[in-house]
Amino acid sequence: MRIKLSPEDAGARLDKVLCERIPGLGRATVKRLFAEGKVQVVTPSGKLRRAVKGDVGAEGIEVEVEVPSTDTTAVPDPDTPLSVVLETDLVLVLDKPAGQPTAPLAPGEKGALANALVARYPELASIGFSPREPGLCHRLDTDTSGLVLAARTKEAFVTLTTALREGRLDKRYLLLVQAADLPSVGTIDIGLAPHPKDKRRVLACVHPRDVARNDPRPAVTTYQVLSERDGIALVEARAPRAMRHQIRAHFAAIDHPLLGDSLYGGPSVPGLTRHALHAHYLAWGGDAVVPALAVRLDLPADLAAFVTTDEG
C-alpha cells in the first residue's frame, strides 16, 4: 500500500500517521512493521528507503507500507489428518488431538482442525460463525483433546449452536486433579470474566470485589469423581454452556487445578506435557431438524496412563 502524505501529516511522526491513515492498524502492529522493515519512504529519485519509527512526515512524501493480511479463512489442508468419529448427512463429530488448534489464528496458517475439515468437506466453507471456523459449532483449547461437533448444513448449524447456547446438548469432560480433599460430587457456581491483567486467562470471580469490578457471566460446572489412583482423581465434569476455560478456571478456583495446567497453577507431572482435560461425551436429544446422537470417546493414552478406569 502506498500513501501520499497530506498537509495535515506534515511534521507528524510516520508511525502516528500510519495508525491514523490505515484502518485496523494498532500501535503494536505499526511498531512491528517498522521493526521488520515493512515501512519504506519513496525518495526523490524513486528509490525506497527503509523508514524508522522516529521519521517525520512532510507534505507530498509517499510511504510504501506492507500491510499484513487479516484474512484468517481456513485454507484447505489435506495433509493434516482428520479423525471422524461420527458422520451423517447433517453432522460430523471429530476427534481433535491435544496440541492441535481448532481453528487457524493467522492468515494462511495450516495444521488446525478447521484446515483439515474444509479440505475433506469443502461444503462447510459457507457454514459457521466465520470463514476460519467452517461448520464448527464450538471450539476446544489447543491442548484439550476430544470431541468437536460440526454441522454440514446451515439449518443444522443453527439448530445445534442454539442448543449449545441454551445448554441443551449433553457435553461431558474427563479431567485429572489431585484427589486430596476433593468431594466425590460437587457443583462449582462461580461467574467468569476476562482476566483484567492477563488476556491468556479468565478470572473466576470468587470475591465480591471481583464481581463488582469485572461484571462476570454466570457459569456452572457440576462434577463427580469416577476413580482414584496414587493420589490422582479422574473426574467427569459437565458444563452445558461452557465458556472459555470454564472447567480449568473453576477447578483452579476450588484449589484443584488440572494436572499440567501451568496457566492456572496446576501441578507439573512427569510424563504429562499438557493440561489434563478431554472432551469425552457428546449427546443431542434430537428434533425435527437434526436426529438424536450420542458419541463417547476413550481417554487418550497420555491421560489414561495416570488412572484406572472402566471408561470405554
Which candidate in 15, 141, 143, 261 is catalytic? 141
Of 38, 57, 48, 138, nearest to 93 by C-alpha is: 138
3-state SS track over the chain: CEEECCHHHCCCEHHHHHHHHCCCCCHHHHHHHHHCCCEEEECCCCCEEECCCCCECCCCCEEEECCCCCCCCCCCCCCCCCCEEEECCCEEEEEECCCCCCCCCCCCCCCCHHHHHHHHCHHHHHCCCCCCCCCECCCCCCCCEEEEEEECCHHHHHHHHHHHHCCCCEEEEEEEEECCCCCCEEEEECCEEECCCCCCCEEECCCHHHHHHHCCECCEEEEEEEEEECCEEEEEEECCCCCCCHHHHHHHHCCCCCCCCHHHCCCCCCCCCCCCEEEEEEEECCCCCCCCEEEECCCCHHHHCCCCCCCC
- Name 147's bridge partners: 95
141 catalytic residue (yes or no):
yes
Q: Amino acid letter at 225?
A: V
Asked if 150 contacts 281 with a C-beta cutoff of 8 angstroms, the reply is no
Q: What is the grid cell recorded at 231?
A: 493420589
Q: Amino acid letter at 154?
A: K
Asked if 263 contacts 257 with a C-beta cutoff of 8 angstroms, the reply is no
Question: What are the catalytic residues?
Answer: 141
